[in-house]
């Protein structure tokens, strides 16, 4: 129960990695706010945590819209009376060749993956500073902040931006007692679909020394560590959870 007495917002927690993070934080005693644009699935995540004995509520939030993000923080404070941890997990992904990416697709990728991190962090930090909270912010980056894959120009650029945003925020906020770190997943079987495609799995295994792809709990465990007191002296760090993919 490393997070007992803490309150955490997890964006993009309706399913996949975000759901895994929310469940893991709840297991460690945190009260959870599930913030996602997918209303029904966000409520499913909250109910799942509640059935497992945790406390959780769901909010419909588009992280690219400032007033909705601000309201997310205010609703959290009204419900639980505090905020200690923000996990910026909300993100989108897409595969398209550089010459075929539309301006709208580029803007959407950058808005969700980078602007959403900025807006939610700004709203949380204002509360941390006002209340004197030594808060923890954990952003979800990607190995694609370091290495390139085909047809992922817009995604890779946005995640590289998240990595540098993490470091810059940590530099500014460290003197104020706020820790900012990121977790960079490698290949994750977020919805169990890869397990049903053995040939594709073998192609990924060729890139991963651990010879398996990650599952959401792998990412969630790293987030939980960074959110805990065990990581109090760690800030500005990108923790890659990739099974060794970046050793290549």
Extents of the domains making up the chain: 7-241
Q: 10 Å Cβ neighbour count for 51?
A: 8
**Furthest-apart CA atoms within the chain: distance in Å:** 53
List pLDDT tens digits, range 63-82: 999 999 999 999 999 999 99
Strand ranges of the sheet holding 7-11, from the earlier edge strand across to the other edge: 56-60, 31-36, 7-11, 85-88, 136-140, 179-185, 238-241
Torsion of CA 168, 74, 39, 6, to 10 degrees: 70
Specify the pTM: 0.96
Active-site amino acid positions: 155
CB-based contact 198:155 (threshold 8 Å): no
List pLDDT tens digits, range 175-210: 999 999 999 999 999 887 887 888 888 888 999 999
**Per CATH, the architecture of 7-241 is what?**
3-Layer(aba) Sandwich (3.40)
């Amino acid at each position: 129960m490393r997070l007992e007495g803490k309150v955490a917002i997890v964006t993009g927690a309706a399913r996949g990695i975000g759901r895994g993070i929310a469940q893991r934080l709840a297991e460690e005693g945190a009260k959870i706010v599930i913030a996602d644009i997918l209303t029904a699935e966000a409520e499913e995540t909250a109910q799942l945590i509640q059935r497992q004995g945790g406390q959780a509520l769901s909010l419909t939030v588009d992280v690219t819209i400032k007033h909705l993000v601000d309201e997310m923080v205010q609703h959290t404070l009204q419900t639980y009376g505090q905020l200690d941890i923000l996990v910026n997990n909300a993100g989108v992904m897409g595969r398209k060749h550089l010459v075929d990416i539309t301006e709208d697709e580029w803007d959407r990728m950058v808005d969700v993956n980078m602007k959403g991190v900025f807006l939610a962090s700004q709203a949380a930090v204002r509360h941390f500073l006002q209340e004197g909270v030594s808060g923890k912010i954990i952003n979800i980056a990607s190995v694609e902040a370091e290495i390139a894959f085909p047809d992922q120009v817009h995604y890779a650029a946005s995640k590289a931006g998240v990595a540098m945003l993490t470091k810059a925020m940590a530099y500014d906020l460290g003197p104020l007692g706020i820790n900012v770190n990121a977790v960079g997943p490698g290949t994750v079987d977020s919805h169990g679909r890869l397990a049903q495609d053995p040939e594709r799995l073998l192609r990924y295994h060729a890139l991963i020394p651990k010879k398996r792809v990650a599952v959401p709990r792998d990412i969630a465990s790293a987030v939980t560590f960074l959110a805990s007191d065990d990581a109090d002296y760690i800030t500005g760090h990108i923790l890659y959870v990739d099974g060794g993919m970046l050793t290549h």
